[in-house]
Structure 1
């Protein structure tokens, strides 16, 4: 009889813990993992930020620059779905800090690289660190979301976007004046990230039992009643939307500096600052995407954030310098709200597979970015950077296919049902 009472108490405690976890948004963890995302993406963004330096120093072609980016993005993308699939079944909280160690080693190699193939090894190591980081950290964000998944994903994403924006700025302040060896200072950032992620891993490990207890309830609440065919069709539409967003973003992150230098004859340092302004706008726009998706429905945010960027993207190749910067800011603000909404929409389509879906979409984003960078570099070598920007300006028009996505229950309704 006593053992039955103990079991009932344990089950009651688990139910209470599950209910608390699902209703309460744990902002300390969200901002901590967002800070780690900031550091991770800051280090990654150093790679494209130093392209003008290594292109001149080693006489690399645009095609070689594109291949470096492709290698980096491929290493960042190809492992992510598999890591996510594995950790959905076998969570590895401390894989976050282990993965960051690959980034640290990659930065050390990058600071000393003296030929094309050594650069490929360096960016591969940094990419591998990223491929470990994103799936598991996305699960941490959703675990701490308290049902406000869009908000949690935006907080997580905005850290990465601010990190991406700060990378070129730090490159302009540190790497450009002191050269390639100054990249070694970024290993201190990697060490800080390892410490932060180790602490996040301890929290994640402590809360895994609550997550497992809550799993069946969360899956039931997230049931969208869509057929398998409809889910697959919706995922295909999302893939095309990711294609349009990241093929366009690749032209900006990898070649915007070259575009400004070639068209307006600005200095390398000023081009880095203008890239920082664009990436800061991307970071700012990310903040709004998730919460607005929770409130109004993610389909509408996806639609606006991709198709809505089209007028500004189409005007930008034909504008003057300052108008180009202003238009780039609008593109960054609008387009950046898409990914949080797309990712949460996808996890709602396939409940209970957060790691796999996060890995798949982060991997797809990085992979598309890498392929696009290589393609735009190849095209720029055969035409011009201005021609590339005229062509890629039409990509946001693909956002019109958002019309084919079904309207599924928003995170806001799920949150209300939990409270009720």
Structure 2
């Protein structure tokens, strides 16, 4: 599932990598390219909890390959969109595909991870790596082909979709007499705690999307670097973010989930400030790496913590923590783009420093959910008993 997550979020990572090329080849403004980040997240933010609710009633694992393919087809069509509204539309379609994938994939990942933060971080890091690889692959490809090369980006999803279908069939057709784990009734849903968690995730998401939207452009315009080096800065951020996700799972298993969330956000504040104050791009890129690690430390912990706040609504919890709360951050990208157009990218990054501090403050309002550990049902178990228990 981590490999499938990598390929799915590869297409989420392609979108910010497209932005400098859309600015330079098509003359889009900062606000216009930020609007494309909005396109990737607007419908997705609403659809992801809906897909999760749908999956809570009956497993729909076909959404895993179908969502992945839809995400790929959307970004591949950018080559054929001469008008801005057409580009906006196909990127929105890609976002819907990503939203269809995540709740069912997170459900399956929790089956494998159980209550281990470290194991869940492996699934989460697949998405982080995918985001980073999306930028790493798309930037040199587009430097070589221009925007006309986007159809080539559909190839990874086509290969992985076939592989994941074969894997799911093997799992679902496995031995029916295999011993099943003992399942305990889940505790009550803690909606107030879940809403506080959602607030933390939303503000952290604004910082994240602001960073992926403008880090490359900040290097290109403020440090006068090449497009390739700007794309490399984005790749550094996302690659070290993957390291931060794995470290966050390990850290949460040792010092606790809430302390790991607060520690990551606390370190992210001076790291991002270091990017803003750096005198040269080599210094800035070091701070970008530190910031990438720190801001991603809470990522996997958010998912498993959200599922424990809502043990009877695993799909909805996954849809919100992986989807709605995260993608809502992308809805603020046009506002950040407008601020950058009216002032400069330096001011925008200073605002992101302040928002990181807000997210840290909200994290101190969180409390551990008071619920029993849950024992997810196997992937092939679709019995009424499992459905009634709200199991994965």
TM-score, normalised via structure 1 length: 0.83
For the residues of structure 1 that align with 2:162 and 2:374, how far apart are their CA atoms? 34
For the residues of structure 2 that align with 1:218 and 1:107, how far apart are their CA atoms? 43
Call closer, same or farther: CA 1:403–1:350 in 2, change over 3 Å: same
The 8 Å contact of residues 117 and 304 in structure 2, kept in 1 or not, is answered as yes
86, 93, 98: which is aligned to 2:66?
A: 98
Call closer, same or farther: CA 1:207–1:306 in 2, change over 3 Å: farther
The 8 Å contact of residues 249 and 369 in structure 1, kept in 2 or not, is answered as yes
335, 356, 364: which is aligned to 1:403?
A: 364
The 8 Å contact of residues 8 and 130 in structure 2, kept in 1 or not, is answered as yes
The 8 Å contact of residues 55 and 104 in structure 2, kept in 1 or not, is answered as yes
* CA offsets 1:116-169 (integer angstroms, 9 cap, x no match): 011112112211110111000001101112x24412321111111111111122
The 8 Å contact of residues 286 and 336 in structure 1, kept in 2 or not, is answered as yes
For the residues of structure 2 that align with 1:208 and 1:40, how far apart are their CA atoms? 29
TM-superposed CA distance for 1:260, in Å, is 1.0
* CA offsets 1:53-100 (integer angstroms, 9 cap, x no match): 111222111111111110111132211101111111110122211222
Per the alignment, in what secondary structure is the counterpart of residue 79 of structure 1?
helix
1:268 aligns with 2:227: yes
For the residues of structure 2 that align with 1:56 and 1:350, how far apart are their CA atoms? 45
More helix by share: 1
Question: Which stretch of the first structure deviates more once superposed, 84-93 or 396-405?
Answer: 396-405
Call closer, same or farther: CA 1:161–1:73 in 2, change over 3 Å: same
Question: Which stretch of the first structure deviates more once superposed, 237-246 or 364-373?
Answer: 364-373
1:153 aligns with 2:103: no
Unaligned runs of 5+ in 2: 376-392
The structure with the larger Rg is: 1
Call closer, same or farther: CA 1:152–1:313 in 2, change over 3 Å: same
The 8 Å contact of residues 285 and 336 in structure 1, kept in 2 or not, is answered as yes
TM-superposed CA distance for 1:204, in Å, is 5.2
Query: Counterparts of 1:165-180 in structure 2 under 5 Å?
Result: 165-180=132-147
Match of 1:259 in 2: 218
Query: Counterparts of 1:292-311 in structure 2 under 5 Å?
Result: 292-311=251-270
Query: Counterparts of 1:32-181 in structure 2 under 5 Å?
Result: 33-145=1-113, 147-181=114-148
Match of 1:26 in 2: none
Match of 1:315 in 2: 274
1:346 aligns with 2:298: no
For the residues of structure 1 that align with 2:210 and 2:226, how far apart are their CA atoms? 19
Call closer, same or farther: CA 1:106–1:34 in 2, change over 3 Å: same
Match of 2:316 in 1: 356
Match of 2:163 in 1: 196
For the residues of structure 1 that align with 2:174 and 2:304, how far apart are their CA atoms? 21
* CA offsets 1:261-301 (integer angstroms, 9 cap, x no match): 12110011111011111111101111121233233321111
Unaligned runs of 5+ in 1: 1-32, 416-420
Count of residues in Structure 1 that have an aligned counterpart in Structure 2 = 373
TM-superposed CA distance for 1:409, in Å, is 6.4
